[in-house]
Every structure is written in structure tokens, then in C-alpha cells.
Amino acid sequence: MRKFFWSFFEIVETVTIAVVAVFLVRTFIAQPFLVSGSSMEPTFNNGNYLLIDELVYRLREPERGEVLVFKYPGDHRSYYIKRVIGLPGERLVIDRGAVTVFKDGDKKILQESYLGSVKVAGYVEMELGENQYFVMGDNRNFSFDSRNWGPVSREDIVGLVRLRLWPVDEAQAFSAPAY
């Protein structure tokens, strides 16, 4: 009976340690994310399984071009995935798909090679405040993003997309493009 008790105790101890470790990793370090929809095509497709780094933005601020997951400003129960286009304190002008960034008298037109030859209609102009980020999907014609509902607050950002894990033949690590 004593041997059974110690065996049972060891199993409970192992399971408890595993559950606590998974909880800590998923809460503070990384968590999985399933892409739903086509707003990030061709970079990410519907059904892609990603790994989100939740730690990096506790150490530094998001950078232009990074793909991040955040709580949708209209409903914090929903999570979205988009690319950072505008940073705090910048003024953005988006005219027929061309993104121009103005800050401290400087003007920069973004060369977004990840978009391909997509033609986008419309005009948006926005000034970002402190702790505000302008985000857009890579599939610009079919993306519900900051052009529709405004900037994302820094406090709503969950983490940075680091890896695509599924499908296996498309597995890869991601980093921000150089503009």
C-alpha cells in the first residue's frame, strides 16, 4: 500500500509541475494562435498555426513591419493579426495603397514588397497619438484594420508572431521587413 501511495504521489507531482509550467509559458512567454480569414494573405493563410512571443514587447516597443496579435479594439474577446504600419507620434497618408509616413519633418514612402502587385483604392490620413499603432492586413483589399476602426492601443497588443508551425511544409520564422 505504501508503494502505491508513493507512486500515486509521484504521478500527481509530475502532472502538477507540467500543468504549472504550461500555464506559465502560455501566460507570460508564448502562446499558439490560429489564423482565421484571409486578411494576411499571402504572408499567412487561413488555418496557419503560429507561435506568438508575448515576452518581447515587455522589453521593447513594436517596430514597423512586425506582424503582431492584438485584442480587437471593438471587442477585447476577439484577437486579430495585422502588420504594424504606423508608430506613435507619426502622421500617415495612405493614397491608393501607397503609404507615406511623416514624422519630425521627415517623409518616408514605404516599399512594401510583401504585398506583391495589389491595387488598393481609397484615401486615409491619420495622426497617431502616444501609445497608438496603425495596423493593416497584407491582403489590403480584404482586410478589416486601422483604416476602418482606427489605431490599436499599446495595451491591447498581445505579442509578436515568431513562427509558423502549421502547415509543416510552410514552417518558418518571421522578422520585420527592412523598409
Q: Catalytic residue, from 78, 82, 108, 175: name it.
A: 82
Q: Catalytic residue, from 39, 113, 143, 153: name it.
A: 39
- Rg, Å, the chain Cα set: 20
- 135: closest CA among 90, 171, 104, 102? 90
Check if the beta carbon of residue 103 is closer than 8 Å to that of residue 88: no
Catalytic annotation present for 103: no
Query: What SS3 class is residue 146?
Result: helix
Rounded-to-integer distance, Cα 46 and Cα 39, Å: 9
Catalytic annotation present for 82: yes
164, β-bridge pairs: 50, 172
Dihedral sign, CA of 119, 125, 127, 133?
negative
- 82: closest CA among 129, 151, 170? 151
- 161: closest CA among 27, 25, 31, 28? 31
The Cα-based distances of 88 to 47, 81, 144 in angstroms read: 31, 19, 20
Catalytic (active-site) positions: 39, 82
